[in-house]
Structure 1
Amino acid sequence: MSIKVDHVVDAKGLACPMPVVKTKKMMDQIDAGQVLLVEATDRGSLADMKGWAKNTGNQYLGSKEDGDVLFHYLRKSDDADTKEIEEFEPVASNDDVKSKIGESGVTILDVREPAEYTFSRIPGSVSIPMGELEERMDELSKEDDVYVICRTGSRSNMASHTLKEKGFDKVHNVKPGMTEWDGPVESTE
């Protein structure tokens, strides 16, 4: 069975947040009910597409994989059902997080993909990829101040909204994230 696709976005070779940026741009141009196929090679796009669709009110239909390419299928909802993803408040800077490393009652939550986390991470941070957050949030304490970080602040924005919806009241979205992190790092490799 094949899926009828109305529009295709080529996001191959692009890293977060660009697949979502290109998806949003195309979604703004298509009609409600139309299906969009997003072709991507960034593994993080699996969680990004699901999270973006959920947070905007669009419908995530599913994803297929063929070799290194991920094929994400999304359906545009009626304009009355869709919304912009608001910038999560409060926002914490990278410098704010540097001062919190190792502090009691603080969790630095890294929502990047495992490969990203393996090669460069903040010491003591907790890795829960965005796509696993809802199933694994019981690993986090609602009593802690949770600083959510990703590569650019995009995935962490979506993750922060998700945590807030699930009763985490002390959540901070970290921007600009690991792309501009100049604090201490560790790696497994």
Structure 2
Amino acid sequence: MAEPAVPPALMRFNSEPVEQVEDVLQAINAAPRFATEVAVGRPYPDVDTLVRRVEQVSRALPWEEVAVALTAHPRIGDRVTGSTAEARSSRREQNGMSAADAELRAAVLAGNRAYEQRFHHVFLIRAAGRTAEEMLAELDRRLANDPETERSEVTEQLAQITALRVRRLVEEGAA
């Protein structure tokens, strides 16, 4: 049985200078030590191994570093502008909000304000594959969390978002 072909983007990821790889990873997850911890594990034999490492590193980040990563994420429902990798990824991932009517958008906006007032940071959710209604339901559910539980949920959502973006980077060549 033949080994699956390594995608060209993964081959580039494995062979590019460490500084270049760290810059790309930092744009995906702004937590200070994330990029270095993932980059030093190269070369990765396949996409799944890399993604598992990305999830492991993301889930192990201390809250202070997760909080730094949060500053790079726009609010759910905000119109994301710009051409940075983060902006392009956010627009693509928040596609579920594009079909939301004015009432649903207003409910998400109000939920964001309540969440930020309660937890003092942006509401983070893996938006990819979720409808606006699903994101609002999660926002409402998570507003009832205590701060420690919510920090765990935010860290998990960051790990999922980071994994999706890294997978897209090394399978399709786009973060």
TM-score (norm. length: structure 1): 0.24
Higher relative contact order (CA 8 A, sep 6+): 2
Higher helix share: 2
Higher strand share: 1
